[in-house]
Amino acid sequence: MKKTALITGATSGIGLATARILAKNDINLVLCGRRLDRLNAIKDELSKLTNVHTLQFDVRDKSQVSLQIANIPSAFTPINILINNAGNAHGLDPIQQGTIDDWDAMIDGNVKGLLYVSKPIIEQMVQQKSGHIINIGSSAAKEVYPKGNVYCASKHAVDALTQGMRIDLNPHGIKVCAIHPGLVETEFSQVRFKGAPVANDVYKGFSPLQAEDIAEIIYFAITRPAHVNLADVLVFPTAQANSVIVKKE
Ligand code: NDP
Ligand code: 8X3
């Protein structure tokens, strides 16, 4: 019986790379994001490999999230694998110079959005007495770095929620995992720096992780035997020791 995975943030970066590897491995996909043109193009691409359904919503919009998840066609339910990947950093400023709009975007998207998506899927998984939730945290979930303040807080929350989910869902046979990447070359820095040229410098002078590196780890996690749960994975590029030490040429 084919499994179905719902991936948030499937329109670029880690989410898109994960959609591609899962499609190649015959997993049905429910792909989510805000950019409809990209969702349509990805559906065209991956429908050649597997069954694909797309949902366009902003994870911050709780009524849209619950409405759209409630209306997933029955061929794609129940969801067996939830990959909570949607998220971004907005700004890199000392706390005294941060903007409330950036803070709202990070707390509402990275934390509350993850909860809004998880709630209806967890209900399905509890009914099924099985399921696998993968939350994409960050090295910023494990340590705080200068100017990282609110982004780090949002990812620390993802780490805490992962642990809380693992505890509360333990009686229901549901696996819960967090994958915490360091520097991955995606659209992340374009978003963080709002398209400013500095975004192009973030990954220069060393070999950063690529989205496919994280997608492969996600695929490894979801293909472990039933009795094995990868609970917490911290992954850096070799050149990175922590959030502030990166060996550059
Ligand atoms: P990208 O910017 O390439 O991808 C982010 C994805 O999230 C997009 O598909 C975007 O889709 C979606 N997204 C963002 N905000 C929302 C929202 N409010 N509602 C719905 N979808 C949203 O970055 P990454 O692939 O790098 O990021 C994926 C995850 O990995 C994030 O949680 C990020 O924090 C985390 N991460 C990234 C690292 C890095 O260095 N790149 C390192 C550690 C963790 P759309 O715009 O179409 O809605
Ligand atoms: C993304 C990695 O170092 O920019 O979560 O926080 S970092």
Helix (H, G, I), strand (E, B) or coil at 101: helix
The DSSP secondary structure of 149-204, one letter per residue, reads HHHHHHHHHHHHHHHHHHHHTGGGTEEEEEEEES-EESSHHHHHTTT-GGGGGTTT
Question: What gap in Å lies between CA 149 and CA 44, rounded to an integer?
Answer: 39
Provide the annotated active-site residues.
151
Contacts of 208 (CB under 8 A, 6+ apart): 183, 184, 185, 202, 237, 239
Cβ of 60 below 6 Å from ligand 1: yes
58 CA distance to ligand 2 middle (Å): 21
Cβ of 188 below 6 Å from ligand 1: yes
Measured by CA distance, the residue closest to atom 46 of ligand 1 is 34
What does the domain layout of the chain look like in residue ranges?
4-235
What is the pLDDT, as a whole number, of residue 11? 98
CATH topology of domain 4-235: Rossmann fold (3.40.50)
Ligand 1 pocket: which of 31, 54, 118, 184 to mutate (most atoms <8 Å of CB)? Answer: 184
- Dmax (CA) of the chain: 53
Cβ of 109 below 6 Å from ligand 1: yes
Quote the tokens at residue 235.
């992954």
- CA dihedral over 32, 34, 38, 41, signed as positive or negative: positive
| Ligand 2 atom at shortest distance from the alpha carbon of 182 | 2
Measured by CA distance, the residue closest to atom 10 of ligand 1 is 9
Length of the chain: 249
Has this prediction a pTM greater than 0.75?
A: yes
Q: CB of 89 within 8 A of CB of 123?
A: no
Cβ of 237 below 6 Å from ligand 1: no
- For 148, other C-beta atoms within 10 Å of its C-beta total 21
Across the chain, how many H-helices and E-strands are there? 8, 9
Buried-exposed string 122-142: b where 16+ CB fall within 10 A, e elsewhere: bebbbeeeebbbbbbbbbbbb
147 CA distance to ligand 1 middle (Å): 19
Quote the tokens at residue 14.
């880690």
End-to-end CA separation in angstroms for the chain: 49
Query: Which residues lie with the beta carbon below 6 Å from any ligand 2 atom?
Result: 138-140, 148, 182-183, 243
Cβ of 122 below 6 Å from ligand 1: no
Residue 36, Cβ density class (10 Å: 0-12 exposed, 13-18 middle, ≥19 buried): exposed
Amino acid at 236: F
Tell me the pairing of strands 81-84 and 4-7. Answer: parallel
Measured by CA distance, the residue closest to atom 6 of ligand 2 is 140
pLDDT tens per residue, the chain (249 residues)? 899 999 999 999 999 999 999 999 999 999 999 999 999 999 999 999 999 999 999 999 999 999 999 999 999 999 999 999 999 999 999 999 999 999 999 999 999 999 999 999 999 999 999 999 999 999 999 999 999 999 999 999 999 999 999 999 999 999 999 999 999 999 999 999 999 999 999 999 999 999 999 999 999 999 999 999 999 999 999 999 999 999 999
Helix (H, G, I), strand (E, B) or coil at 74: helix
Buried-exposed string 162-180: b where 16+ CB fall within 10 A, e elsewhere: beebbeebeeeebbbbbbb
Question: What gap in Å lies between CA 67 and CA 126, rounded to an integer?
Answer: 19
What is the pLDDT, as a whole number, of residue 1? 86
